Amino acid sequence: MKNTEDTGRTSFRHFPVLDGLRGIAILTVMCYHLEYLVPGIHMFSKGGFLGVDLFFVLSGFLITSILIREHDLTGKISLPAFYIRRTLRLVPALWFFLALLYFAGNLLLSPAQANVIYGRANFIYAIFSLF
């Protein structure tokens, strides 16, 4: 963050390293959750909770910088437009992942493991983000 003009506006640069840290944070959480499907992996994935904290801190910085940039450019912040942009960016990746999980899960998982994913309508809840 640095001041770029005498008008008092603040500009946020994009830091690729922060994207990398968010990716690492996501991977630690994913490895932590693999314990349900791969017993014994927990000894390698103890950073799941730290990954959640790191992801939320970095995401909060990203979201705040996006909203500040929008306010600087337009003089206002449109939360509906912000949420529409986030939805259009994230939902396709979620649905792709769920489709991959559905087909790979049917091929690779035992019935007990598949029940963790598909049991109690978990998969339907995930598709419609009704967690």
Q: What is the DSSP string of the chain?
A: -EE-STT--EE----HHHHHHHHHHHHHHHHHHGGGTSTTGGGG-TTHHHHHHHHHHHHHHHHHHHHHHHHHHHSS--HHHHHHHHHHHHHHHHHHHHHHHHHHHHHHS-HHHHHHHHGGGHHHHHHTT--
**pLDDT score at 7:** 56
Same domain for 70 and 114, yes or no, is no
Question: Which residues span the domain enclosing 32?
Answer: 1-77
Task: Please say which residue of 77, 94, 117 terminates a domain.
Answer: 77
pTM of the model: 0.66
| 68 and 84 part of one domain | no
Q: Are residues 104 and 73 in the same domain?
A: no
* Same domain assignment for residues 69 and 121: no
User: In this structure, are 85 and 35 located in the same domain?
Assistant: no
Tell me: do 9 and 35 sit in the same domain. Answer: yes
- Going residue by residue through the chain (131 aa), what tens digit of pLDDT does each one get? 444 455 556 666 778 888 899 988 888 888 887 877 777 777 766 767 888 999 999 989 989 988 999 999 999 999 999 999 999 998 899 889 888 888 887 788 888 877 777 777 777 888 787 65
Please state the domain count of the chain: 2
